[in-house]
Amino acid sequence: MAVSFPNLAAIFDHGYDTIIDVRSPDEFAEDHVPGAINLPVLSNEERAVVGTIYVQDSPFKARKVGAALVAKNAADHIAGPLADHDGGWKPLVYCWRGGQRSGSFTGILQQIGWRADVVDGGYQSYRKLVHAALYSNPLAHRFILLDGNTGSAKTALLARLQDRGIQVIDLEGLANHRGSLLGEMPGGQPHQKGFESALAAALAAADPRLPIVVEAESSKIGQIVLPPQLWSRMKEAPRIEISAPIEARTAFLLDAYADATEQADQDPTALQAKLDLLRHRRGNTIVETWLEHLKSGDMAALATALMTDHYDPAYAQSRKRGADKIRHVVKARSLDTAGQECAADEIAQLIKTMSV
């Protein structure tokens, strides 16, 4: 049976035991329904071959070759990852358009006796719902921004606020990027569509009666672009600013950016290339000082210099545009575990008293 979903909440709360994406691994990597598993009935290479036959030879031959490959790959999945499911298993299957790939695989599962259904319209119908939720339908949510200079533990504080029952969305976590020059994280960033799926799921799960705390960001996090509607709401949202001494911020950064520090030790030329990009903004003298710290391996001095010479001035400039939105300033003496806990307690209490 082909199942239609009227909105994202319905597809996220689909009620099936497993949701299966039978598209190729490349298609799945770009984006997929959150929580879906990938059981491709055509590999990347097989899909390309079938497509070439369809264009250069005939649609009939392409369907015949494709059907043989689908049957073979379906058999491998049934004998492999699906082998332990009992007769009551109820999967939901989708492909690109809800056509031949998902229809064929679902038919085989049904013949076995499993209660399999297929998504009407496939991934494309899901993608339309995501796009509408982020770009067309008005956002029903209100936001509070957690603001502060680089190194003020904003992302870490989001997690502690969530532990205290505050609604949060970690945009940098969804984008897998720390939102700065040295913000790259292991694994790289998701595709834009993948980020949007994760964001739409987070918004759908949030209670619109309560504010959502997000970190103050620019309109881009690495290569990920925030949807204009969300960015507009963020610019107008009230802010809580975190203030901490430079020494505390340096200590926090060295811990939070341990992976970047280790990478710099192994390949200092990569970090040097990034720092060189800032010569036109900060001048040769300042950048050469940074490079001396890098060369000597003094990462604490480098972190401090980057904040005082680059990040803090940039933040001060951007803060002028949102200074009237700052409702409270939380002063953290330290940003170690105890310091973060104290700051999170204070922020949580402030949020409960704020009108948004």
Q: What residue spans in the chain does CATH classification 3.40.50 cover?
A: 138-353
**Residue 346: partners with Cβ closer than 8 Å, 6 or more residues away:** 330
Residue whose C-alpha is closest to residue 156's, from 231, 253, 235, 233? 253
pLDDT along the chain (356 residues), means of 10: 93 96 97 97 96 93 93 97 97 93 96 97 97 95 95 96 97 92 85 98 96 95 96 96 96 83 72 89 92 90 93 82 87 96 97 84
What per-residue confidence (pLDDT) applies to 271?
84
> Which residues lie closer than 8 Å to 55 by C-beta, 6 or more apart?
none
CATH number of 138-353: 3.40.50
**Residues 335/244, Cβ–Cβ less than 8 Å:** yes
Q: What are the residue ranges of CATH 3.40.250.10 in the chain?
A: 2-133
**Cα–Cα distance measured from residue 66 to residue 279, given in angstroms and rounded to the nearest whole number:** 54
Please give the sequence-ordered ranges of beta strands (E in DSSP) within the chain, or none if there are none: 2-3, 18-21, 37-38, 91-94, 117-119, 143-148, 212-215, 220-221, 224-225, 239-243, 326-331
pLDDT at residue 264, as a whole number? 63
Q: Is 297 left (phi over 0), alpha (psi -120 to 50) or beta?
A: left
3-state secondary structure of 286: helix
Q: Are 240 and 73 in contact (CB under 8 A)?
A: no
CATH class for the domain made up of 2-133: alpha beta
Residue 265: per-residue pLDDT = 67
Q: What string of DSSP letters covers 94-125?
A: E-SSSSHHHHHHHHHHHHHT---EEETTHHHH
Please tell me the distance from the alpha carbon of residue 48 to that of residue 108, in angstroms, as a whole number.
Answer: 23
pLDDT of amino acid 314: 84
Does residue 95 have an active-site annotation?
Answer: yes
Catalytic residue, candidates 41, 95, 153, 307: 95
Q: What is the pLDDT of residue 181?
A: 74
